[in-house]
Amino acid sequence: MRLGLFGGSFDPVHYGHLLLAEQCREQCELDEIWFLPAGRPPHKPVERLTAGEHRTAMLSLAVSDHPAFVVSRIELDRSGTTYTVETLLEVRDRHPDCELHFLLGSDSLRDLPNWREPARIGTLAAIVAVNRGRVAAAAEREWCDRHLPREISERLQFISIPAVDLSASDIRARVRRGASIRFMTPPAVAAYIREQKLYQE
């Protein structure tokens, strides 16, 4: 099975996340996409994250009608700081017959050399770099070839998707000031945010 792994805070999940996942599924011919809500990411203070149970619940509501979308608690259930290389190792060990594809925004590529064991990440999964609204420039590919470990650059795939200017931080800010988030996140997610009184002061 060709499996796409899509990690993030998803605080909350919005249509930009869902569009990215669907375009990767289609363009990379993936059988499933697993959404991996972050547990204790090294780059973000955990106290700023909404509880994992809420983020998982919102994701489950958002993807409930898509047969190829799955929500995984693999990072939430792990103790300590969660690193991508450890997540990929765990998925590979549990599902050795799966071909893994790790999805991320192309803007994250330049930070990839600073992640834990970037070369090993490239041996565990093909990297799918998503450009929002533009085709990857030759200069960007050249930068990757020069600065990324060979294990990543040799398996790196760029895809382009329509630009959707949405961010979870903007949605949280809109909720705090009582503004509409309609058409930014699925109705079931917006209802959950209201019912659970999330993102309020």
Hey, which bits of 38-189 come out as E strands? 69-71, 99-105, 126-132, 157-161
Residue 53's alpha-carbon distances to 11, 32, 50, 126, 159, in angstroms, are 11, 22, 8, 29, 31
Burial 146-164, CB ≥16 within 10 A → b, else e = eebbebbbeebebbbbeeb
Cα–Cα distance, 180 to 110 (Å, whole number): 34
* Residues contacting residue 59 through CB under 8 Å, at least 6 positions apart: 10, 13, 35, 37, 71
pLDDT in tens, 108-150: 888 999 999 999 999 999 999 998 766 556 777 888 889 999 9
Cα–Cα distance, 53 to 11 (Å, whole number): 11
Q: What percent of the chain has pLDDT over 90?
A: 78
CA end-to-end span of the chain: 44
Q: Where does 2-166 sit in CATH, by number? A: 3.40.50.620
Domains of the chain by residue range: 2-166
Q: What is the pTM of this model?
A: 0.93
114 exposure class (CB count in 10 Å sphere: 0-12, 13-18, 19+): exposed
Cα–Cα distance, 31 to 34 (Å, whole number): 10
Which residues make beta-bridge pairs with 8?
Answer: 37
Hey, which bits of 18-143 come out as E strands? 32-37, 69-71, 99-105, 126-132
Please determine, for residue 101, whether its predicted confidence score (pLDDT) is greater than 70.
yes
> Which of 2-11, 29-38, 44-53, 162-171 has the lowest average pLDDT?
44-53
